[in-house]
């Protein structure tokens, strides 16, 4: 029992600095880079990556059921998601999304596992997204994927959509993602498009629901 307690104590010493770093990165160092049309986009550097993370924020007046239905509809993807060519809803909550890159770069795709959670106390829906490498996917998910051909899977693309229902029948939206495109794409080039990834996506989403009012 003594050895077990000692091991747990040592683990807490070694792991706590990493936990503190992650906690700090989760709450600090955001820089506002765009504030337009009631949409705010923030970027920040992460200690473990050359690629920036983005966070976009805005408010929509709509029903959460309609918003989730639209976001999860794969056929709408090219009309509003930044650089989206194709999106497929696979089984078990997996999503395939193909995005265009300018020639001579190869188009990139992700296979993300999505999980929706609802915080009843705070009235917040969170749609978690995590890119899973093709070879690590369950066999039945691999079988549903298009042929890879000349496309490249992103090394990682993780983040979330968050929808906070407020008292004025509006929804406060946060869209946060961090990715690594893999392959021979300099981080300086990739980082130039990150602001657009957030702003264009949110702007198109806002325009869609504004047109319905």
Mean pLDDT value of segment 88-97: 98
Reported as a single tens digit per residue, the pLDDT across 40-78 is 999 999 999 999 999 999 999 999 999 999 999 999 999
Q: What is the fold, at CATH topology level, of the domain defined by 30-211? A: Alpha-D-Glucose-1,6-Bisphosphate; Chain A, domain 4 (3.30.530)
Task: Give the pLDDT of residue 27.
Answer: 56
The distance from CA 131 to its chain's CA centroid, rounded to whole angstroms, is 9
Whole-model pTM?
0.85
Residue for token pair 């957030």: 198
Q: 64-71 and 194-211 are packed helices; what angle lies between their axes, rounded to 10 degrees?
A: 130
pLDDT at 20 over 80: no
Compute the radius of gyration of the chain from its Cα atoms: 19
Mean pLDDT value of segment 76-103: 96
DSSP string, 57-126: EEEE-S-HHHHHHHHT-GGGHHHHSTTEEEEEE-GGGEEEEEE---TTSPPEEEEEEEEEEEETTTTEEE
Q: Any idea where the domains of the chain sit in the sequence?
A: 30-211
* Averaged confidence pLDDT in the chain: 88
């Amino acid at each position: 029992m003594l050895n077990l307690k000692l091991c747990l104590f040592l683990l807490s010493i070694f792991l706590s600095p990493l936990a503190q770093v992650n906690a700090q990165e989760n709450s600090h160092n955001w820089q506002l880079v765009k504030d337009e049309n009631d949409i705010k986009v923030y970027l920040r550097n992460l200690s473990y990556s050359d690629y920036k993370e983005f966070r976009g924020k805005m408010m929509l007046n709509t029903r959460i059921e309609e918003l989730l239905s639209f976001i999860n509809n794969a056929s709408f993807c090219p009309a509003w998601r930044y650089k989206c060519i194709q999106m497929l809803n696979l089984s078990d909550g997996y999503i395939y999304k193909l995005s265009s890159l300018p020639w001579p770069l190869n188009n990139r795709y992700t296979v993300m596992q999505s999980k929706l959670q609802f915080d009843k106390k705070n009235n917040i829906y969170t749609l978690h997204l995590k890119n899973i490498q093709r070879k690590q996917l369950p066999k039945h998910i691999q079988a549903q994927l298009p042929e890879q051909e000349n496309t490249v899977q992103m090394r990682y693309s993780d983040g979330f959509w968050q929808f906070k229902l407020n008292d004025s029948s509006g929804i406060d939206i946060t869209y946060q993602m961090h990715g690594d495109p893999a392959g021979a794409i300099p981080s300086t080039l990739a980082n130039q498009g990150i602001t657009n990834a957030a702003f264009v996506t949110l702007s198109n989403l806002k325009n869609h629901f504004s047109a319905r009012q």
